[in-house]
Structure 1
Amino acid sequence: MPSGAWHDGTVTAPLTPPHQPQPNDPWQATPSGSHAVPGEQPGDERRTEIRQGALIAVVLTVAGLALGLLWLWLAPRVPLVSDDTAVFLKNSESEEAIGADGTFVLLGLAFGLVTGAAVFLFRRRGGIPLVVGLALGGLLGSLLAWGIGTWFGPTSDVVAHAKEVGKGVTFDAPLELHAVGAAILAWPVAAMIAHLGLTGLFGPRDPEPEWDVAHGTPYAAGQQPPGAGGATPYQQWPDKRGEQNS
């Protein structure tokens, strides 16, 4: 039956399908939760994000050189002394032994906050490839910084170093990490938290869904369309079959 025709004293309204996004709509939501740039297809945007994520991972890995040099410069030294038979801590009650770990963790947190904010300002949106590149780059950068600090720091051959300096002469212990897990993960965890927080606060928002009503007529706030609120069509349109039969 054609839509809108009379039948048994009732009238039916034409059904209007819900609003469907057009296939060529440049601002429709993408699977990553962001909006596509006009003229850029979702597949092209995904490949762009993957390339940017790989670039971020490489840049952050190279930035680990700076972290390692800062750790080597700022970390407190542990003084040792030898008596020709053994090597001892010069001050057994000092806290320099844990100072190297604390310095590395604080530097990693600072690098994570800065790099997470920088990646957000670079892209100004979220995306799984960007977060993966940020986490991977921070992890590799921390490992590189650890290697730089231990390689260019005091020698790890304590016995040879003690024999070289002589009896009763103070020398520095090797630069080491005792809480390796916490120190290595400080940078990537801080970077992801900073990036996700900035994305949630200042990132783009998905548009509100648009719903069409019958005949395309919008209803004002508080006004209900026919049939809403539990009412049936026969309550909105009185039955006139009895009048016709009489």
Structure 2
Amino acid sequence: MRRPTVRTLRTWAVTTLIIALLGVPAGLLWAEISPKVTYVVVQGRALLADPEGQGPIGVDGRFALIALVAGLACGAAAYLAGGRGNDIALLFGLAAGGLAAALVAWRLGQHIGLDAFQRAVRRAPDGRTLTGAAELRATGLLVLWPMVAVGLYAVLEGLVKRLPAGDSRGSGAGEPDEVGGGELDLQSAPAGRDVDGRKG
């Protein structure tokens, strides 16, 4: 079994780091565009006022949309900028970096405004309704980013490999060449004879 080269490890590490850093703007965007969710305070705890309402579903949906777009962008960028011979390193980088970015986006997005919300819950009497910060309920969406990135990279790689190679065969003497829709034999006539073999 071949040991990974320094170039392979470097490509994997750089790809993972760059994609993981994208989790910061993704988390900020998620917190910004997520709909407000209404909670009811019961014995000092915040419970969802409508667990099946549009608010919680919208929060998960916004996260899925961001992860989908980010995964597509990362997969395409890695394929276009990576060059050939780096496939394994790039695939591992897309998987590890995408998962790390999703985790960063999740934790960061949920913590924006969380302290203020928790203070409001502690001071609120039972039955009080409050709007809270984004909270991801469908945590399975965390794997969407890396899956989409790896999947798109693999699809692009497969499409390029299926492209037919250009016809490198040249036409030489005695080979039919297409002229005006027909075929002409451009073979030279023997010395002293015309093309039909008759003596000149």
TM bin (shorter chain): 0.5 to 0.7
Alpha-carbon shift at residue 201 of structure 1 (Å): 1.6
Q: TM-score, normalised by structure 1?
A: 0.56
- The count of aligned residue pairs is 163
Higher mean C-alpha deviation, range 75-84 or range 128-137: 75-84
> Which of 65, 69, 76 is the equivalent residue of 1:106?
65
Give the helix-richer structure, 1 or 2.
Answer: 2
Could you tell me which residue of structure 2 aligns to residue 184 of structure 1? 142
Mean alpha-carbon deviation: is it higher for 51-60 or for 98-107? 98-107
Q: Are 1:71 and 2:30 an aligned pair? A: yes
Task: State whether residues 75 and 149 of structure 2, in contact with CA within 8 Å, keep that contact through their aligned partners in structure 1.
Answer: yes
Give the C-alpha shift of residue 98 in structure 1: 2.1
Instruction: Provide Cα deviations, 1:151-172, integer angstroms capped at 9, x if missing partner.
Output: 11334965x4235366776422
Q: Which segments of 5 or more consecutive residues in structure 2 lack a partner in the other structure?
A: 166-200
Work out whether residues 80 and 89 of structure 1, in 8 Å CA contact, stay in contact via their aligned partners in 2: yes
Partner of 2:105: 145
Q: 1:210 maps to what in 2? A: none
- Native 8 Å contact 2:38 2:48 kept in 1: yes
Change (3 A) 1:46 1:154: same
Backbone CA RMSD of aligned residues? 3.4
Larger Rg: 1
Q: Does 1:134 align with 2:91?
A: no
Alignment of 1:82-231 (within 5 A): 82=41, 89-90=48-49, 94-125=53-84, 127-155=87-115, 158=118, 160-164=119-123, 170-181=129-140, 183-202=141-160
After the TM superposition, which segments of 4 or more aligned residues of structure 1 sit over 6 Å from their partners? 83-86
Contact 1:49-1:127 within 8 A present in 2 as well: no
Q: Identify, as 1 or 2, the structure richer in strand.
A: 2
TM-score w.r.t. structure 2 length? Answer: 0.68
Query: Residue 139 of structure 1: CA displacement?
Result: 0.5
